[in-house]
Amino acid sequence: MSNITIDLLNNHKSIRAFTDQPVSDEIVKTILTAASAGPNINNYQPVTFVEITDQALKAEITTQVGMAYIESAMRYFVVTVDFNKDLIGLTPEIRKQAEEVLSSYAMLEGGIISAGIALGRAQVAAESLGLGSVTMAGALRAFELYEEKLQLPKLVKAVMGFSIGYPAQEPGIKPKLPLAGTWMKSQYSQKQMVDAVTIYDKTMIKYYAARGIDSSWTQNNAKMLTRKQDFSQLGKYPKRKGFTLN
């Protein structure tokens, strides 16, 4: 089966180089309206896109996280889980009870899922308008800067970065796992997953070889997962934002 929407989804490419062509506020409004129209936890609508408009700050974030497509993107957003908005208008007594509920792990997880849905919809909307985009969890390595510069209140936690602009590259479509690596019936099958990964590894060896890289999916995973990284402060970040994780 195929239609315009399915083709758009299947032809996704992460764009990490952008032209200097401006992206209008009208386009951003269209993208974020589509993003916010999706499902979310209990209609709390706990997602806020905070755009960073200060080019110097974008450059500072780029330097800290090593992602040039933050500084070079025409529009860059920090996507946040935002339960602060749900406290507005409550009486002090109800607000106290609400904060206890909203600080739970269940709410944080629901907020992150809601943010992921919104972000996916924003990306598809952007691509449907001829823009390129890239989402990045790695930008969270600059969360201290976000806290300092964006004045995020309690129960508002940065979760992703989102860059959009007109593409200045054609990276091609990166192959994904065969459907057997995504869809199982009745129960989880380790054998099915091993077989799917084995097949996919062969696909990725060819994909990387065409780009002059001697690697595979499993080799790349091994490299990424064994490099030295200190996530200790990032792990403490949710509690700093008022989430108890209980």
Q: What is the pLDDT of residues 155-198, one digit of tens each?
A: 999 999 999 999 999 999 999 999 999 999 999 999 999 999 99
Give the pLDDT score at 234. 86
Domains and CATH numbers, the chain: 4-173+229-240 (3.40.109.10), 174-215 (no CATH)
- The pTM of the full predicted model, rounded to 2 decimals, is 0.93
What is the spatial distance between Cα 102 and Cα 172, in angstroms, rounded to a whole number?
41
The band of 207, judged by pLDDT with boundaries at 50, 70 and 90, is very high
pLDDT band at 246 (very low <50, low <70, confident <90, very high): confident
Burial class (CB in 10 A: 0-12, 13-18, 19+), 10: exposed
Q: What is the pLDDT of residues 122-166, one digit of tens each?
A: 999 999 999 999 999 989 999 999 999 999 999 999 999 999 999
Long-range contacts made by residues 141-145, C-beta under 8 angstroms, separation at least 24? 141/64, 141/65, 141/234, 142/60, 142/61, 142/64, 142/65, 143/234, 143/237, 144/233, 145/57, 145/60, 145/61, 145/64
- Whole-number pLDDT of residue 245: 80
Judged against a pLDDT cut of 90, whether residue 232 lies above it is answered with no
Tell me the two tokens of residue 211. Answer: 């780009």
Q: What is the average pLDDT score of the chain?
A: 96
Model confidence pLDDT, tens digit, residues 64-91? 999 999 999 999 999 999 999 999 999 9
Grouping H, G, I as helix, E, B as strand and the rest as coil, residue 246 is coil
